[in-house]
Amino acid sequence: MNDNEVKRSTISLQGAHHIADVPRRIFGSFIEHLGRSVYGGIYEPEHESANEHGFRGDVLDLVKELGVTCVRYPGGNFVSNYRWQDGVGPKNQRPVRRDLAWHTTEPNQVGLDDFYHWSKAAGTEIMMAVNMGTQGLQSALDEIEYANGAPGTALADWRVANGIREPMDIRMWCIGNEMDGPWQVGHMSAEEYAVAVERTAHAMKLAEPGLELVACGSSSASMPTFGTWERTVLTRAYDYLDFVSCHAYYFERGAKSPQDFLASGENMKHFIATVAAQADDAKAAHQGDHDIALSFDEWGVWYQDDWNRQEEEWKAQNRVLHNEPWPTAPHLLEDTYTVRDAVVEGALMIELLAHCDRVRSASRAQLVNVIAPIMTQNDGPAWKQTVFYPFAFAAHHAVGDAFAPTIHSSQVHTESYGDVDAVRAVVTFDQQTHSGCVLMVNRDMQHTTELQLDLQDLLSNTQFTEIIADEQVLLHDDDPYATNTIEHPDRVKLRTLDITASAEHPAQFTVTLPEESWAGFAFHLV
């Protein structure tokens, strides 16, 4: 709680440096065949809002409101035991399979054809993941031909026969998922995966040179091979790779203290720096002509201890052979997010944008029901979790170029990272529309910060004389554990940010950021 002492900080564009253009893919998300993410999430043919393909219209509306640009599919751990061929063609002819990743039954009523229709309705790009656990090179090549091939070949004609004449034009492909993890079907050593990804990526680029290919990085920074895995894989396969994946999840009980949890962005910064250094070393080793970018294609808050407990209980109950069927679309990983979780996710988005020179794609994991900003009830309503709000504001307003402002902030002490700035921020500005936004977070659990925001440099050497506020929002609650639920879907909403323009200086503002809060300020020049 606030102890009534107000801290002082400043954010200024004077001395700020240009980071990079804001890649639209940084506002991506992730849908995996896991729990109710697909069945009962995006897909429910009997729902009153369902469209002709069986997808929930209320969920599609929320996805558009969230501003998601690119969706990674179909996994995740699921993909390593998945046969993409099972999910195309007439639904009454598709086989039912066991999914080894999540111990469930997969009915295959949604697959590549269907997800293509969903993505068109949602207005999102597809980031496709291929199975490197039980399949590999030939399956990947076949899937590319099926998805992207012009009519006239066997697999492209199969797509046409299934009702999709036009090529899907899927450009971004993940070559497996978390292949370093012993939980992964077909997991490999770094050396084994390096050989496999080099062969597969080489063949995929022969098939379509314009593809953008993502190699698996470490599945987390806590893996004992973190860093050396990336070095081994990227050095071997550098010539054919465009991205390396990064995965990082955070939750309060996984941090040394609540204050450390609020400072989770410090861990993300270290993650980005470590992987970027390995990518640069691979480029230098090859005297290369391109940078390998980072695809932070799994990030967010996930209460992993809850899942680990469920997993151990499942294993304990199944130490003998049995004939019981595995469940279909059970309630798994349906975390309920707090205000504190949303502040952390807002801070993580700031870090992604602050490093968008290297992070050129990101997928907030996941999208619906499973560790998700959007929740649904079967045959019932859909609603927004707390984490919906900072993502949506950034996705809609962070356009153009990103800038790292000069920040003078009070400090907070953490056990994991030492003393860190209480305030983190990033500024974006679009020269075409003369509009921009500031994303800010106060990571201090105890103190309100009175912030002086100076955007005067945006007016320098222009015909513009004033900055006009378009939207000013605050995410904060006196109860940091407040949540949105089906009974109370609007318990947590955005408030109006307390921001006041200076009477003497039209581009300077005073902003009040309460303890552990996130804020967004969108504006335009006149």
pLDDT tens, residue by residue, 481-513: 999 999 999 999 999 999 999 988 889 999 999
pLDDT for 309 = 86
Confidence of residue 2 (pLDDT cuts 50, 70, 90): low
Residue 37 three-state SS: coil
Whether residue 405 contacts residue 11, with contact meaning beta carbons closer than 8 Å, is answered with: yes
pLDDT for 321 = 73
pLDDT for 442 = 98
Rg from Cα positions in the chain: 23
pLDDT tens-digit readout, 155-214: 999 999 999 999 999 999 999 999 999 999 999 999 999 999 999 999 999 999 999 999
Torsion of CA 118, 121, 124, 129, to 10 degrees: 10
Mean confidence (pLDDT) of the chain: 97
Residue 451 three-state SS: strand
Q: How many CB atoms lie within 10 A of CB 60?
A: 19
β-partners of residue 518 are 441, 475
pTM over 0.75: yes
- Given the residues 44, 145, 230, 298, select the one marked as catalytic: 298
Confidence of residue 323 (pLDDT cuts 50, 70, 90): confident
> Does 351 score more than 90 pLDDT?
yes
- Given the residues 125, 143, 178, 515, select the one marked as catalytic: 178
Name the pairing type of β-strands 7-21 and 401-408.
antiparallel
Q: How far apart are CA 272 and CA 275, in angstroms?
A: 5
pLDDT for 324 = 85
In 3D, which of 99, 66, 58, 60 has the Cα closest to residue 82?
A: 99
pLDDT for 313 = 81
- Residue 20 one-letter amino acid: A
Q: Would you call 178 a catalytic residue per the annotation?
A: yes
Residue burial 403-435, b: 16+ Cβ < 10 Å; e: rest: bbbebebbebebeebeebbbbbbbbbbbeeebb
Q: Would you call 32 a catalytic residue per the annotation?
A: no
The tokens for 128 are 């496709």
In 3D, which of 130, 93, 86 has the Cα closest to residue 111?
A: 86
- Residue 88 one-letter amino acid: V
pLDDT for 462 = 93
C-alpha of 355 from chain center = 14
Angle in degrees, CA 161, 164, 168, rounded to 5: 130
